[in-house]
Amino acid sequence: MYAILYHIRKTSLIWIWSLMFMVVGSINLLTAQEPTYKEYSGKIADSKTKKPLVFATLTVEGSNISTITNTEGEFLLKVPNGSIGTNVIVSFLGYKSLTLPLSGLNQGKNKILMYESVTELAEISLSIPKDAEALVRETLKKRGENYIDHPTVMTAFYRETIKKRKKNVSLSEAVVNIYKMPYSSERRDALKLYKARKSTDYSKLDTVALKLQGGPFNALFLDIVKYPDYIFTHESISDYNFSFESSTRVNDKLIYVIDFHQKPEITAPLFKGKLYIDAENKILTSAIYSLNVANRKLASQMFVRKKPRNAEVWPTEIAYRVDYREKNGKWYYGYSNVLMEFKINWDKRLFNSVYSMSCEMAITDWEKNLENTIPKSKERIKSNIILSDEAIGFADPDFWGEYNIIEPEKSIESAIKKIQRQLRRAKGNGGSGASTP
């Protein structure tokens, strides 16, 4: 078994990643439900370059229903029939937000172009404070003031993938309910699994299948504002250098871009990246960062707990992203993703095995949890969950019904179609051989 765990210097907290070797499972089919919604799909791109805009947010006006574009700029938005007379708000960091009537969108493919938001140099130079680290500390300190201050129940779509080089070999997806505590509270959020499905092409996994331990928690704990100690504790924040970079805009608000990286004298692997902070209200709107894995030995010690005797394993890249959204002056966790690439060097083999594992989670709807109800302990997802153990096989495209999902990339679509063909062949042969090499 591989275990991917690490702890941050001067703190005992750990991330709950792990990769495991496992036996092959079986695949079943589910029945689709009648739709009570309309689907809108399309692509969002830069107006000049036509380059796709990745992780752009689409929100149905007057509601908490939202989705996000994939790495190809494509989206799929499902809107309840009672809301189709409203608008959809499209936003992206550094671009002017758009408000579009849903009635003007096709239910097929739409092409939405966005325009960059220009920030005047005079505006930037007059407003930037002197101390970047002090601004970060103030931002984290004001989390109870600027982020949702009441319990909520969030619906989220979660996806995790494993690739061998560039080919998808394993895919798991889920809809989960997040019982989110107020940002001023020290209580942790609780998760409950609603639906899940999986597929794995075991023939491409070196006779073993890799699994990711932690599931949706891996994405949820990237909520820096709720869980600051996973990256910046009161002690470890002084291990970083902070500096101002160019500013940008989101939803017409001026955003400071703060670069951070560990100080040269700090030898323990820490993080480097950029924080995007609302200039007026001191609000973290996004963070994009990565772990320092330059020291292969230390990185391996942090991430590999157990491994095959005939293999050396080490991570080559660990990258993170978290985005927040705003409603009625309060901000909340909206999206996060993790990418981990690693190599397996097998004894007596000429070439390394190169794998990448990624997971992402997007909030697609939420409501106030007025009675602060929390699922019973036996109903909650454990923080060491292996999602593919809880999921069943891939079914038809209507599996998720009215729930919004992150539109799959072309490579993932191909993988899904392949597994569906395998299912049909297995069904025609009267067996379940699709789940074996």
Positive or negative CA dihedral for 141, 366, 114, 161? positive
| Exposed / middle / buried, residue 418 (Cβ in 10 Å: 0-12, 13-18, 19+) | middle
Contact status, residue 254 vs residue 123, Cβ threshold 8 Å: yes
Out of 69-83, 162-176, 195-209, 339-353, least confident range: 195-209
pLDDT band for position 249 (cuts 50, 70, 90): confident
- Give the 3-state secondary structure of residue 128: coil
pLDDT digits (tens, 9 = 90+) for 15-65: 434 444 333 333 333 344 456 889 999 999 999 999 999 999 999 998 999
- Residue 401, pLDDT above cutoff 50: yes
At 16 the pLDDT is 38
At 214 the pLDDT is 85
Q: How far apart are CA 88 and CA 404, in angstroms?
A: 14
Residues with Cβ within 8 Å of residue 75, at least 6 apart in sequence? 40, 41, 42, 43, 44, 56, 58, 67, 68, 69, 407
Domain segments of the chain as ranges: 18-31+117-435
φ and ψ at 200, to 5 degrees? -145, 135
Contact status, residue 171 vs residue 413, Cβ threshold 8 Å: no
In 3D, which of 205, 201, 195, 145 has the Cα closest to residue 174? 195
At 396 the pLDDT is 60
At 234 the pLDDT is 84
Q: How far apart are CA 423 and CA 245, in angstroms?
A: 52
pTM comes to 0.83
pLDDT digits (tens, 9 = 90+) for 326-379: 998 899 999 999 999 988 888 877 777 888 889 999 999 999 998 889 999 889
In 3D, which of 328, 248, 253 has the Cα closest to residue 288? 248
Q: How far apart are CA 38 and CA 49, in angstroms?
A: 30
Q: What is the dihedral of CA 78, 80, 81, 83, to 10 degrees?
A: -100
